[in-house]
Amino acid sequence: MKFQSQAVAKPYFIFALALFAGQILFGLVMGLQYIIGDFLFPYLPFNVARMVHTNLLIVWLLFAFMGASYYLVPEECDRELHSPLLAKILFWVFAAAGVATILGYLLVPYAQLAEMTYNHLLPTMGREFLEQPTITKIGIVVVVLGFIFNIGMTILKGRKTVINMVLITGLIGLAVFFLFSFYNPENLVLDKYFWWWVVHLWVEGVWELILGAILAFTLIKVTGVDREVIEKWLYIIIAMALISGLIGMGHHYFWIGPGEYWLWLGSIFSALEPIPFFMMVVFAFRMVRQRRHDHGNQIATTWALGTAVMAFLGAGVWGFIHTLAPVNYFTHGSQITAAHGHLAFFGAYAMISMTIISYAMPIMRGRPQGNPASAQKVERFAFWTMCLSMLGITLALTVAGAYQVALQRLPDDSMALSFMQTQAKLVPFYWIRLGFGVTFFVGLLAYFASFFVGQHVAESADAKKEEVCCGSCS
């Protein structure tokens, strides 16, 4: 580690991973509820489990992005973080607000939570992914502003690298577009139109800048390839992401009220959205092939390559298969959507988080060349188990979705099966999905275990490895 203040990232990473475990547990409950409809009812109704599952995802990714920024910005800026104390305070504020909100979901009926938090004063609740009480949303804004101030001041006073500039643009975009979550008009069409300005412009917009910056940083460190080369790739990848993704938002405007030209714009531009992800794959593999040194943390390199591949499959390929309007007319809101959502979020954002954690955590724990071989072996098993399980989940849901479309959407009014009849037919695929969910959880447990493997080896080897390059200086 080059600067002491980078260590504030550590609690962010640890807490992110704890929330990740919670997300998966609630996912398993829902996987079973898809099969046994009244499982845990009325103690944990499906809508509550889903809210916890998706909100934990969003919050743990935010924690991971913040941790990543606190770790990489000082190193890129070549100076200490503006205020490590502020970073520590915001960690506890955000963690407390997050835990309180999740407990609110679990312990009180949602309508009562809305009442307790005075939702009627500024109604923002009850919309997908934006279920948080208004007071929590305000808390998120405060935490993110404090975080951006801290990161921004560091960058202003330090070296302004391309990675820094791309990251800060992404973070400011994240904050600005979140403000649309406070706009909730009585008109459902307007509500939905600008709801996407949070959701789409996050995950298919500014989050890709954050992803690109973290990936580029990690690749510089583990490959030692010249920064000039990597920065050129980064610019062109995120340029393509924005050029395709901003108007690509039109693929969400097909069936919720906006006019017909969105059918064309949404189809054409979102069909281009796989391009930046494909470039990311080429970029990652080429940088690793052109590497100038063999970093001891090999598993971090594997995570970086894996992120590029899985993000391309999940966001690129699985996005493309249902993005054209004539296809989406039949697949919209089916299990195909769920398949895409799972692989895209895992491949792009969960995996980039684990990439930076895999690179940075060993360094923060005094292991500049990565964890000992025995620990990396366990982490490698975890990597493959989680990736293959998520592909299994995705394939099971894709088949379920295709069958759902065939039974429920393609036939005319008189022949189509009802939603509930169709769901009954999909049960075998839901079992397969649940099975892969269980193996995913096994992979996650192995991942956690890898943090505790080979402690003794690491301690005895520390003295020798002090001399070896950790990549921090490049």
Partner 1 sequence: MADNFTKGMARNIYYGGGLFTFLLLCGLTFDTMLELPSRDHRENITESVALGKSLWEDNNCIGCHSLMGEGAYFAPELANVYDRYGQGNEDTFKQFLQSWMAMQPMAIEGRRKMPQFNLESHEVDALADFLIWTSRIDDNGWPPNKQG
* Under 8 Å between Cβ of 323 and 270: yes
Which residue intervals of 179-311 are DSSP H helices?
Answer: 188-201, 207-223, 227-248, 261-271, 274-289, 298-311
Q: Cα(208)–Cα(352) distance, rounded to whole angstroms?
A: 10
With respect to partner 1, which residue has the nearer C-beta, 124 or 150? 124
Stretch that binds partner 1, among 19-27, 299-307, 420-428, 432-440 (CB under 8 A): 420-428
Stretch that binds partner 1, among 9-17, 62-70, 241-249, 356-364 (CB under 8 A): 241-249
Task: Tell me whether residue 326 is exposed, middle or buried, using C-beta atoms within 10 angstroms of its C-beta: 0 to 12, 13 to 18, 19 or more.
Answer: exposed
- For partner 1 (CB under 8 A), the number of binding residues is 83
Closest among 129, 146, 49 to 91, alpha carbons compared = 146
Give the nearest distance from C-beta 255 to partner 1 in angstroms.
4
In the window 90-129, what residues touch partner 1 (CB under 8 A)? 109-111, 114-115, 119-120, 123, 125-128
Q: Does 182 bind partner 1 (CB under 8 A)?
A: no
Give the nearest distance from C-beta 56 to partner 1 in angstroms.
14
Whether residue 274 is preceded by a cis peptide bond, meaning omega within 30 degrees of 0, is no
Q: Supply the DSSP string of 97-124, one letter for each residue.
A: HHHHHHHHHHHS-HHHHHHHTTGGGS--
Give the nearest distance from C-beta 34 to partner 1 in angstroms.
7
Q: Token pair for residue 204?
A: 């298919």
In the window 389-418, what residues touch partner 1 (CB under 8 A)? 408-413, 416-418
In the window 271-310, what residues touch partner 1 (CB under 8 A)? none
Helix, strand, coil share of the chain (percent; to 5): 80, 0, 20
With respect to partner 1, which residue has the nearer C-beta, 420 or 463? 420
User: Where is 157: in which H helix or E strand?
Assistant: helix 134-157
**Per-residue x/- track, 29-68, partner 1 (CB under 8 A):** -x--xx-xxx--xx--xxxx-xx-----------------
Position among 337, 374, 439, 474 found at the interface with partner 1 (CB under 8 A)? 337
In the window 137-166, what residues touch partner 1 (CB under 8 A)? 162
Report which residue type is found at 430: Y
Give the nearest distance from C-beta 428 to partner 1 in angstroms.
16
Q: How far apart are the first and last CA of the chain?
A: 12
Give the nearest distance from C-beta 364 to partner 1 in angstroms.
31
With respect to partner 1, which residue has the nearer C-beta, 265 or 317? 265
